[in-house]
């Protein structure tokens, strides 16, 4: 059986290489969807970034605000996409990545992002549709490989219970997957204990809900943000915190992607292909 399996793998690799060679001008983009509220938008000052990250990163594309361009901070502030895109692109230099981002400060999950009636979720979906169309122009192709989610502050302040938020987040993830891929990896950040603008009791409702969803979903991954720096408003990540958030998301994504097998590496070596980018399922985890 192993010989048959190996033969199929070789055949699939050959088919892939031939398909790529037939249209060398087209690009296959691995796309990440980014959504949430203000800490996804980003409230950290762009001036806190290293100079190379303040400038456009031409090897990663960002669709935000109806514009497709090289990844760079959105004006005076930035979110997790800047370091996330950089680390992922460095981890997989053979691949081409794009980010489609829509977040809005103060938006709640139970109403604004509701899968059935949420107006914010409606704008997000339209943004994804338009972003994919922009990426696919000129014959390019796209595959959505993950979604990053930074949200929960508003629901905490609205006094949502653990059960309520857990049910809302579970429903939201399920709807996202019906639209963008049944096995889509979902990466979420947990509210931080340093967000003291939110009461201890409110944090104690939402944080367990986020952890429960990740623990119960084999394709969901939770980021622990408790060590990330905060601004003086005790609600939003500062420059160092946002950079840590993006890097943590990238670390989580990279950890979810398996190394190519020895056989695949041998086949790709014979064919002059640098490697392959594939995904696997693992249990939901909390990464530092």
Query: Average pLDDT in the 210-233 region?
Result: 98
Residue 10 CA: distances (Å) to CA of 3, 6, 74, 283: 11, 6, 44, 29
At residue 21, the pLDDT reads 47
Q: How far apart are CA 20 and CA 15, in angstroms?
A: 9
At residue 25, the pLDDT reads 77
- How do residues 27-39 score in pLDDT, each as one tens digit? 999 999 999 999 9
Nearest CA-CA partner of 146 in 281, 11, 287: 281
SS3 at position 260: coil
At residue 23, the pLDDT reads 52
User: How are the residues of the chain apportioned to helix, strand and coil, as percentages rounded to the nearest 5?
Assistant: 45, 20, 35
- How do residues 130-144 score in pLDDT, each as one tens digit? 999 999 999 999 999
Q: How far apart are CA 158 and CA 172, in angstroms?
A: 18
Residue 193 CA: distances (Å) to CA of 10, 30, 80, 135, 201: 49, 33, 19, 38, 11
* pLDDT of 245 strictly over 80: yes
Mind listing the domains of the chain with CATH numbers?
A: 27-287 (3.40.50.1110)
- DSSP state, 110? T
- DSSP state, 74? B
pTM: 0.85
Q: Over pLDDT 70: what percentage of the chain?
A: 82
Number of other CB atoms surrounding residue 58 within 10 Å: 10
> What end-to-end distance do the CA atoms of the chain give, in Å?
40
At residue 6, the pLDDT reads 54
Angle at 188 between CA 197 and CA 152, to 5 degrees: 30
The phi and psi torsions of 137 (rounded to 5 degrees) equal -65, 145
Angle at 61 between CA 274 and CA 36, to 5 degrees: 115
Residue with tokens 């399920």: 174
- How do residues 42-85 score in pLDDT, each as one tens digit? 999 999 999 999 999 999 999 999 999 999 998 999 999 999 99
For 266, how many CA atoms within 13 A lie in the half-sphere containing its CB? 7
At residue 258, the pLDDT reads 79
User: Which residue pairs, CB below 8 angstroms and at least 24 apart, start in 265-269?
Assistant: 267/9, 267/10, 267/13, 267/14, 268/13
Helix (H) or strand (E) holding 253, with range, is helix 239-255
- How do residues 249-281 score in pLDDT, each as one tens digit? 999 999 999 776 554 445 545 545 444 454 332
Tokens of 115: 């899968």
């Amino acid at each position: 059986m192993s010989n048959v399996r190996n033969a199929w793998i070789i055949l699939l690799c050959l088919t892939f290489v031939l398909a790529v060679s037939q249209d060398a001008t087209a690009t296959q983009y691995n796309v990440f969807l980014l959504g949430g509220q203000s800490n996804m938008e980003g409230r950290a000052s762009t001036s806190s970034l290293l100079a190379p990250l303040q400038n456009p990163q031409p090897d990663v594309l960002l669709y935000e605000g109806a514009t497709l361009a090289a990844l760079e901070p959105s004006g005076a502030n930035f979110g997790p996409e800047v370091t996330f895109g950089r680390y992922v692109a460095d981890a997989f230099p053979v691949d081409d990545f794009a980010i489609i981002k829509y977040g809005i400060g103060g938006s709640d999950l139970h109403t604004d992002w509701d899968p059935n009636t949420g107006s914010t979720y409606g704008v997000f979906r339209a943004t994804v549709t338009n972003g994919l169309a922009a990426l696919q122009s000129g014959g390019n192709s796209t595959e959505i490989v993950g979604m990053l989610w930074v949200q929960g502050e508003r629901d905490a302040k609205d006094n949502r219970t653990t059960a309520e938020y857990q049910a809302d987040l579970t429903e939201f993830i399920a709807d996202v997957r019906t639209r963008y891929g049944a096995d889509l990896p979902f990466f979420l950040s947990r509210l931080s204990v340093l967000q003291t603008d939110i009461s201890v009791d409110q944090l104690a409702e939402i944080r367990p809900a986020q952890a429960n969803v990740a623990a119960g979903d084999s394709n969901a991954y939770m980021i622990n943000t408790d060590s990330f720096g905060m601004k003086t408003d005790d609600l939003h990540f500062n420059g160092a915190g946002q950079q840590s958030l993006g890097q943590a998301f990238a670390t989580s994504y990279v950890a979810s992607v398996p190394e190519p097998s020895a056989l695949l590496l041998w086949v790709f070596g014979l064919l002059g292909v640098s490697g392959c980018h594939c995904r696997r399922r693992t249990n939901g985890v909390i990464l530092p």
